[in-house]
């Protein structure tokens, strides 16, 4: 080891001596040719000075004894470089020339404070080289580029002409190479073009590089006319579906690009789009990139997925990406199975972001499908939330005057107030029925047999009507609601010019639909009325433990309270708090 160490030290010393000789020779070269170099007439020297000037300014002493020599060389190089200044279409073939011109312009700007003496042709080329250089501060870069823009662009038309000349030839390439379309997003002077040029270019150059297409589309999503953008998407989707593709569902293909966006952007995507989703499980990652939990920045301007589209995602992928263990930490490096299944578990929550009118049918489909059993707990929670959200749609809090009217004069302010008042009236009615000396229960029986539900309802309404009128409330029997449905009766109040409607469904204990009516009729059909705020009262008539319950003999319920508890227990959880159950005891004994 000691011998090897000595050998390494000898090699290192030889290397250091060689480097010192090279540096000395380089400095001597610049001393010997100082006159030509300062005139900007020596290409090799000027190119090397430009590199040091931009990347290693603190090491310029390795080349010249006087820093002023470097400045002179750069500023005087314009005449030598003038025949070689490229047009915008030749930029990539003349990158070294542009870099030297950039350094020369920067040296001129630092000395004179402007670029008034630099030709437009040079500035057009130098504009393409503006960027981050270690030898130039961020603030100076901004002011330097602002000076270039000031000299080049008198108006937006000049900016657009420059962008077209520079970028449009790049869009004719079919290979996935770099383009400058990002200028429209990141350079202030080009940002006004985002509203028009990206959409035009997507239309005119269908075979542009993939990265350019992706950037341009995101600009369209954020800034372009949405109707025109959707029209283009529709056209491209139709073309993709009509034209056979060798790999129709490979993520990243042009085919994939437009069908994915058709799914997101078109309110009614072509039917082939859904078939495309099902065709390859890998397509889930394109959707996840735009709608997943880590996609917020990537999806600016993209529309939120509707509940129906979320169901289409779950329906397409739930079998292809089965349940896996999901660790608490995750990211883009997670296994494909984890990413896919985590996305499915997350996207379920987004169903609740849609309007309840659209969300609730989707939630019911999830709950009815055993494939989604792992999502049922979330779906039930979403359903309860959607029901509350639907109930509050169009809700306006009571005005201070309405609150005063309620507190001081017992006037109605909300549908909740109507529920409370009706329950209070029914409780008082119950006491009167069981205790009055005039045998009021007799009206509910004829020749020892109970009357029908409709007759019993009319007797109850007759009693309540008088008492409700004293509160400026009205009762309507068999109130017509949506889809030709009719509820047993409603209680109505006017609050600040707005109607408040309390829906009441009534069933006798003997009715076969006794345990389903609260949900199937009262909630699903009647309380969805826009004035009912998804609320109601389920009034049940009790005629005695010996009578049938829900069409069958049931000895387990011998009292009205037991029936009440059973009805409340079997009622869907989402109805608790919005539907009151009241069992009216009409038993003759």
Q: Could you give the angle at which helices 67-75 and 43-55 cross, rounded to 10 degrees? A: 120
pLDDT digits (tens, 9 = 90+) for 23-64: 888 888 888 899 999 999 999 999 999 999 999 999 998 898
Q: How far is CA 257 from CA 175, 236, 287, 426, in A?
A: 16, 10, 11, 63
- Segment 438-461 shows an average pLDDT of 91
In angstroms, the CA 185 to CA 579 distance is 53
- Segment 205-217 shows an average pLDDT of 94
pLDDT at 570 over 80: yes
- Segment 275-294 shows an average pLDDT of 87
Q: Which of 115-129, 276-290, 465-479, 511-525 has the highest mean pLDDT?
A: 115-129
- Segment 204-230 shows an average pLDDT of 95
Provide the token pair at 292.
Answer: 């997943």
Q: Are 219 and 198 in contact (CB under 8 A)?
A: yes
pLDDT digits (tens, 9 = 90+) for 371-428: 999 999 999 889 888 877 776 665 555 556 555 554 444 556 677 888 888 999 999 9
pLDDT at 127: 96
Return the HEC string of 315-333. Answer: HHHCCCCCCCCCCCCCCCC
**Which residue has better confidence, 12 or 454?**
454
Q: What is the DSSP letter of 303?
A: P
What band does 250 get if pLDDT is binned at 50, 70 and 90? very low
Q: Are 262 and 269 in contact (CB under 8 A)?
A: yes
pLDDT at 296: 59
pLDDT at 526: 54
Q: How far is CA 210 from the centre of its chain?
A: 23
**0.95 cut: is pTM over it?**
no
Q: What is the DSSP letter of 374?
A: G
pLDDT at 371: 94
Geometric angle at alpha carbon 84, from 79 and 86, rounded to 5°: 125
What band does 244 get if pLDDT is binned at 50, 70 and 90? low
Provide the token pair at 76.
Answer: 């005087």
pLDDT at 483: 47
- Output the CA torsion sign for 84, 90, 94, 97: positive
In angstroms, the CA 189 to CA 195 distance is 13
Phi, psi at residue 498, to the nearest 5°?
-110, 135
pLDDT at 249: 44
pLDDT at 247: 45
Return the HEC string of 185-216. Answer: HHCHHHHHHHHCHHHHHHHHCCCCCHHHHHHH
- Segment 484-502 shows an average pLDDT of 74
């Amino acid at each position: 080891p000691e011998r090897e160490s000595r050998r390494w030290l000898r090699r290192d010393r030889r290397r250091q001596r060689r480097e010192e000789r090279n540096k000395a020779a380089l400095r001597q070269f610049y001393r010997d040719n100082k006159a030509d170099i300062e005139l900007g007439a020596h290409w090799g020297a000027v190119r090397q000075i430009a590199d040091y000037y931009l990347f290693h300014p603190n090491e310029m002493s390795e080349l010249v004894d006087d820093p002023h020599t470097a400045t002179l060389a750069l500023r005087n190089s314009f005449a030598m470089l003038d025949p070689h200044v490229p047009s915008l279409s030749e930029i990539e073939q003349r990158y070294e020339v542009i870099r030297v011109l950039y350094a020369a312009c920067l040296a001129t700007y630092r000395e004179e404070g402007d670029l008034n003496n630099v030709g437009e042709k040079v500035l057009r080329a130098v504009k393409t080289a503006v960027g981050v250089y270690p030898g130039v501060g961020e603030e100076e870069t901004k002011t330097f580029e602002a000076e270039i823009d000031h000299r080049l662009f008198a108006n937006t038309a000049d900016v657009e002409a420059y962008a077209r000349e520079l970028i449009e030839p790049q869009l004719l390439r079919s290979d996935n190479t770099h383009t400058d379309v990002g200028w429209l997003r990141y350079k202030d002077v080009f940002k006004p073009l985002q509203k028009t040029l990206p959409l035009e270019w997507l239309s005119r150059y269908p075979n542009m590089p993939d990265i350019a297409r992706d950037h341009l589309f995101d600009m369209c999503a954020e800034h372009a006319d949405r109707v025109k953008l959707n029209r283009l998407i529709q056209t491209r989707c139709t073309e993709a579906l009509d034209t056979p593709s060798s790999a129709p569902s490979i993520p990243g293909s042009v085919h994939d690009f437009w069908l994915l966006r058709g799914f997101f952007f078109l309110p009614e995507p072509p039917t082939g789009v859904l078939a495309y989703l099902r065709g390859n499980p890998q397509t889930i990652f394109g959707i996840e990139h735009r709608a997943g939990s880590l996609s917020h920045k990537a999806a600016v301007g993209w529309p939120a997925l509707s509940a129906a589209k979320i169901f289409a995602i779950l329906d397409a992928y739930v079998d292809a990406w089965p349940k896996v263990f999901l660790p608490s930490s995750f990211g883009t490096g997670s296994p494909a199975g984890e990413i896919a299944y985590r996305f499915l578990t997350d996207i379920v929550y987004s169903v609740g972001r849609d309007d309840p009118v659209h969300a609730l049918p989707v939630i019911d489909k999830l709950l009815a499908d055993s494939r989604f059993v792992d999502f049922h707990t979330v779906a039930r929670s979403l359903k309860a939330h959607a029901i509350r959200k639907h109930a509050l749609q169009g809700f306006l809090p009571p005005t201070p005057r309405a609150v005063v009217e309620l507190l001081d004069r017992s006037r109605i302010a909300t549908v909740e107030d109507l529920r409370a008042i009706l329950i209070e009236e029914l409780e008082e009615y119950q006491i009167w029925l069981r205790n009055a000396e005039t045998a009021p229960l007799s009206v509910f029986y004829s020749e020892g047999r109970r009357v029908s539900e409709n007759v019993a309802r009319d007797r109850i309404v007759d009693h309540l009507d008088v008492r409700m009128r004293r509160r400026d409330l009205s009762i309507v029997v068999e109130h017509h609601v949506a889809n030709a449905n009719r509820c047993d009766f409603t209680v109505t109040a006017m609050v600040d010019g707005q109607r408040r409607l309390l829906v009441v469904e009534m069933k006798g204990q003997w009715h076969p639909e006794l345990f389903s009516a609260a949900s199937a009729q009262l909630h699903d059909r009647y309380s969805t009325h826009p004035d009912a705020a998804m609320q109601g009262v389920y009034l049940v008539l009790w005629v005695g433990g010996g009578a049938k319950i829900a069409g069958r003999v049931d000895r387990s319920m011998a009292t009205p309270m037991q029936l009440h508890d059973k009805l409340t227990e079997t009622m869907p959880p989402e109805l608790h708090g919005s539907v009151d159950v009241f069992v009216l005891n009409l038993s003759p004994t």
